[in-house]
Structure 1
Amino acid sequence: MPDLLARLVRRDPDGVVAVDARTGGDPIPLTRGELWRRTCGLADELRRAGIGPGDCVAVWLPNWSDALAWQFAAAARGAHVIGINTRYNVDEVTHVLDRARPKLVAVAHDFHGLDLLARLHEAARRSEAPAPAVAVVAGPGRPPVTDPAGYDVGGGAWVPAAAPADPPVPEPADPGELAVAFTTSGSTGRPKLAAHRGSGVLAHALADAAAIGIADGDVVLCALPLSGVFGYNTAMAALAAGAVCVLEPVFDPDAVLDDMVRHGVTHVVGADDLVLRLAEAWRTRPRDLSTWRWWGVADFQGRSRELAEWALESFGTATAGVYGSSELFALTSFWPHDEPAPRRWTGGGRLVAAQIEVRVADPVSGEALPVGVEGELQFRGPNVVDAYLGDPDAAGRAFTADGWFHSGDLGVLADDRTFGYVCRMGDALRLRGFLVDPAEIEVRLAAHPGVHTAKVVGIPGPDGATRAIGFVVPDERVVAPSPAELRDWCAASLARFKVPDVVHVIEAMPTTSGTNGTKIRAATLREWATERSGHRA
């Protein structure tokens, strides 16, 4: 991985590799040569701190260029990084410390009014792992911390030095060592820490850059946290292509739109919740986003189609549905540019590398299924998780006997390299004997002019059969539709068995903010649906 950066430097040391966007301040460009010097200097500090092959370094930083330097420097030492989201609470940080057992934690000082220091102390107190050392990072354009003693949680604390003019170049590290780990969604229990080797990271970054069509001189928006798999893989693809990363440490829609104009952003990866906020800010104050060529979208809130149409009509932006996870890397697949809409805007797509394989299997028998038949998506290849930090038995549960990874996702093959994502297997609805993707009903509900957001869940009915229950948040600009009106709206175009038994109109969706975007909490909606099951309006 450090060699990727070294090659960029040899090609053009003065070329800009990243821009640190700052709310309320001027952006700070960073050249390839500067990032290389910071990486080399930090790698030497890590060597002197005793960080070596197999060690874990926790990086608790926002989207600063420092986070890139820490990733490359740790890889240069044969160590691996576990990113910690700045939104994580004490319990979540404690879980990471217990599982990953980092030897060192790099933590942001005085960031955005967040008391990361108090969280770190409390998490270290609760954790059963040995106390890590702490490196205190001030952030771009800010003076270094003069006294880091308050950050000492038992393993010492220090402040990284400024990059020397001519730092020692680190010895080549083994690309077979683990390089990065991501927390999973935790939908089936406590989140796992899915780790990947450096060789896999580099190969995937090159494959993504080539498949997307990112080129030297392009500008990629990095608004998703680098601690999450979607933000991380986006940045790595940009670096592999020689593009510029516009790093947004705080997501303010108006500021991000201004940065997209200022820097001529060409590529964006983000869920529909992120671009929905951009679209709402743009409608209030339109700006020229004609440089924006491509958006890779993950559909979290059922708004992808309308947003893809907005981006296409307003700026000529091509949108492609993507697929990925912490265990499989983000951007494992996406629909090619010549795939017709609206299918191109859905999840799934064509695998980005020939080394990646996909099959669809019967969830019960494990038998491979032919093209066109729904089943569990299973994968093999260098993108697949290599280890689970702190849980060596997890890999045995995650793979089939013949080495295919259980994604837990329902999908269907279009051919041997292209597939459509349907939904999480646990979210699929069995209605009147038919397996139904709830998104089909959600898209219909969201198309109503009085609906802002829609979500559909299933609960058991009195006879044991699944009942589809809809929840909608009305558009505050119009009169809220009635539940009966929404059911009639669905019945006008959906098969009768797909019409929700009940539609609840609510003020706001229960959501959770993760490293990859804001998702609606389907489990909470199922609880609400069960509680209200005696009420049909």
Structure 2
Amino acid sequence: MTTSSLDSTPLDPALSHTRGETDVPLLTQTIPENLAATVEEFGDRDALVDVQAGRRWTYSEFLADVRRLASGLHRLGIRAGDRVGIWSPNRWEWVMVQYATAEIGAVLVNINPSYRVHELEFVLKQAGIKAVIAAPQFKDSDYTGMLAQVQPNCPDLELVVLFGDEEWESMVSGPTDADVLAEIRAGLTNHDPINIQYTSGTTGFPKGATLSHSNILNNGYFVGELINYSEVDRVCIPVPFYHCFGMVMGNLACTTHGSCMVIPAPAFDPVASLKAVEQEKCTSLYGVPTMFIAELALEDFDSYDLSTLRTGIMAGSPCPEATMRQVIDRMNMEEVSICYGMTETSPVSTQTRADDSLDRRVSTVGRVGPHLEIKIIDPSTGGTLPRGEAGEFCTRGYSVMLGYWEQPDKTAEAIDEAGWMHTGDIGEMDADGYVKITGRIKDMVIRGGENIYPREVEEFLYTHPDILDAQVIGVPDPKYGEELMAWVRLKPGRDDLTAEEVREFATGKLARHKIPKYVHVVDEFPMTVTGKVRKVDMRKTAVEILGMA
């Protein structure tokens, strides 16, 4: 499915269909070839820092340790095409395993750190995982115990290696079989599968998006290009490695540019993130909006020296305008970039540029990325819509996954015969090609025949002086089919907000049918590990709260 060149058929500028620039060529290397080239140029520069572990590597040291681990994996019987699971929070070992598996052509399977036995067993079986490399435990997750529990039910699983155990230590301190590795690298191609990432699975079991060297290497490269990464950049990565945001937009964006990967903590901690920026003089900081909100809310926020920051990436879900302005003004991230995408597209499809206006960066997810093509269609007819009309966002190009692992039917549902990935997201494109994502097709609320996009109502609720964050869902209603319910997080000092107060605030400012009938105050929203709000969980809870179950 992956294509390396764009269709050159002329496009109608009145329609929501654009292509990215192609002046910078696609990378044709494999991940190990690209890493070796980076080391050749920037061997003495910092490659990786794990702040809490107190460890750091230059690029030359990093490649040496990656190849030592790759040799160890090969001696244990791991071959090109074998699936190797990684189950761990963000640690230096995760990054080593990412690049060591690529060295020998093994397919890295990212296992969500929050999985429990049921989900773990599903992924181990579905991907046919031969070996799992894991942290012994983290917080309340006993990875060692859970792996021991499921191993008898997973016939493909031959090997479990835990960080720090005898097997692990022998791999990371053993010899490097340079000739063997060189022979393996020579046999790899950039269209080989190299990574399986399971989708969040908000409905049913997760699906394994299968990605090639070309998919993720190029996506990381172009994400870095658009925020002007170079060997002087130091990137603080508090977002999870198991997801594209961490391992592609973070790690691969760095290693394709000679930039330094900085791990602030195993899991997100606002204090650890800002300390890492200050200590390591980071130039870039990543996060989903809730992470930036948490950092900005720290009582001692102003005590941190963030003067080295210039850029960063915000993704995962749309950002409140007020938060975006604070990130630029108070965190010095003048060139902060908004990215939009999905696991199945490696992940980024659109991105704001460093020179985009503030308004573009707070109100859109940018323009199509290099070597990619996007369009907005009417989901009922498949026809491309005029500019400014809302419809389903579709994309094609080098970034589209190879498919869902061993699920050809699901792949065919997502990627059409012309190679377009149908995202299920609602978007609209303006005259200059900038895109707004206004929600999921399945999240759209239909009240009395009126289509309501929750994002519009959420943006309005952010203007309420007591509301810190808001999410809007549809709940069943006997008269209108659906009514709106707002879940809100309040600013410090406020402990309640009624639907009547919201209605008074909204009257005259928002169309009557868009004013929420119900308001539910919460401390936190149910989230996926990648920072996406789980509206499916909110709807279930809402039905119970309202006595509709």
TM over 0.5: yes
Q: Distance in 2 between matches of 1:228 and 1:165?
A: 29
**SS of the residue aligned with 1:181?**
strand
Deviations 1:217-253 (A, max 9, x none): 1011111111111111122111111110001323222
- Asked if residue 160 in structure 1 is aligned to residue 190 in structure 2, the reply is no
Which position in structure 1 is the counterpart of 2:149? Answer: 122
Question: 1:434 deviation in Å?
Answer: 4.0
- Asked if residue 9 in structure 1 is aligned to residue 14 in structure 2, the reply is no
Deviations 1:100-139 (A, max 9, x none): 1111111123555642101111232444x4233122222x
Question: 1:29 deviation in Å?
Answer: 1.3
- Asked if residue 361 in structure 1 is aligned to residue 377 in structure 2, the reply is yes
CA contact (8 A) 2:320 2:459 kept: no
1:9-408 matched pairs, under 5 angstroms: 9-22=39-52, 27-111=54-138, 114-127=141-154, 129-138=155-164, 145-146=165-166, 159-162=170-173, 164=175, 167-168=178-179, 169-171=181-183, 172=185, 173-233=188-248, 234-247=250-263, 248-281=265-298, 283=300, 286-298=303-315, 300=317, 304-318=320-334, 319-346=336-363, 348-353=365-370, 355-408=371-424
Q: Distance in 2 between matches of 1:132 and 1:266?
A: 42
Question: 1:459 deviation in Å?
Answer: 2.4
Matched letter for residue 120 of structure 2: V
- Asked if residue 410 in structure 1 is aligned to residue 437 in structure 2, the reply is no
Q: Distance in 1 between matches of 2:347 and 2:43?
A: 29
Task: Identify which of structures 1 and 2 has the higher relative contact order when contacts are C-alpha pairs closer than 8 Å and 6+ apart.
Answer: 2
Count of aligned residue pairs for this structure pair: 511
Question: 1:511 deviation in Å?
Answer: 1.0
Matched letter for residue 461 of structure 1: D
Identity over aligned residues, as a percent? 27
Distance change in 2, residues 1:238/1:39 (3 Å): same
Matched letter for residue 232 of structure 1: M
Distance change in 2, residues 1:5/1:282 (3 Å): farther
Matched letter for residue 209 of structure 2: A
Question: 1:46 deviation in Å?
Answer: 2.5
Which position in structure 2 is the counterpart of 1:141? Answer: none
CA contact (8 A) 1:40 1:170 kept: no
CA contact (8 A) 1:451 1:480 kept: no
Q: Distance in 2 between matches of 1:20 and 1:532?
A: 44
CA contact (8 A) 1:305 1:342 kept: no
Any gaps of 5 or more consecutive residues in structure 2? Answer: 1-30
Question: 1:482 deviation in Å?
Answer: 2.8
CA contact (8 A) 2:388 2:429 kept: yes
Distance change in 2, residues 1:114/1:467 (3 Å): closer
Matched letter for residue 365 of structure 1: T
Question: 1:449 deviation in Å?
Answer: 2.0
Question: 1:303 deviation in Å?
Answer: 5.4
Matched letter for residue 281 of structure 2: G
Q: Distance in 2 between matches of 1:491 and 1:292?
A: 41
Distance change in 2, residues 1:477/1:260 (3 Å): same
Q: Distance in 1 between matches of 2:130 and 2:236?
A: 31
Question: 1:485 deviation in Å?
Answer: 1.1
- Asked if residue 522 in structure 1 is aligned to residue 539 in structure 2, the reply is no
Distance change in 2, residues 1:368/1:507 (3 Å): closer
**SS of the residue aligned with 2:72?**
helix
Q: Distance in 1 between matches of 2:447 and 2:312?
A: 34
Q: Distance in 2 between matches of 1:524 and 1:110?
A: 27
Q: Distance in 2 between matches of 1:438 and 1:283?
A: 34
Deviations 1:259-310 (A, max 9, x none): 110111111222111112211226456312121112322364x653222121
Q: Which moved more, 1:406-415 or 1:62-71?
A: 62-71
**SS of the residue aligned with 1:250?**
coil
Q: Distance in 2 between matches of 1:199 and 1:32?
A: 22
CA contact (8 A) 1:297 1:321 kept: yes
Deviations 1:403-454 (A, max 9, x none): 2111111111235854221111111223454433212211222322222332
Distance change in 2, residues 1:161/1:259 (3 Å): closer
Matched letter for residue 50 of structure 2: D
**SS of the residue aligned with 2:430?**
strand
Matched letter for residue 529 of structure 1: A
Question: 1:74 deviation in Å?
Answer: 1.5
Q: Distance in 2 between matches of 1:430 and 1:99?
A: 37
**SS of the residue aligned with 2:465?**
coil
CA contact (8 A) 2:487 2:522 kept: no
Matched letter for residue 190 of structure 1: F
**SS of the residue aligned with 1:194?**
strand
Q: Distance in 1 between matches of 2:353 and 2:455?
A: 22
Matched letter for residue 40 of structure 2: R
**SS of the residue aligned with 2:344?**
coil
Distance change in 2, residues 1:449/1:6 (3 Å): same
Deviations 1:363-405 (A, max 9, x none): 1111222222211111111111112223233211212233211
Q: Distance in 2 between matches of 1:112 and 1:473?
A: 26
Matched letter for residue 389 of structure 1: W
TM-score normalised to the size of structure 1? 0.89
**SS of the residue aligned with 1:68?**
helix
Q: Distance in 2 between matches of 1:455 and 1:362?
A: 25
Q: Distance in 2 between matches of 1:365 and 1:424?
A: 18
Distance change in 2, residues 1:36/1:242 (3 Å): same
Q: Which moved more, 1:393-402 or 1:174-183?
A: 393-402
Matched letter for residue 484 of structure 1: E
Matched letter for residue 272 of structure 2: A
TM-score normalised to the size of structure 2? 0.87
Distance change in 2, residues 1:342/1:528 (3 Å): farther
CA contact (8 A) 1:235 1:245 kept: yes
Matched letter for residue 29 of structure 1: R
The two structures, once aligned, show a CA RMSD in angstroms of 2.4
CA contact (8 A) 2:227 2:337 kept: no
Distance change in 2, residues 1:261/1:463 (3 Å): same
Q: Distance in 1 between matches of 2:76 and 2:461?
A: 56
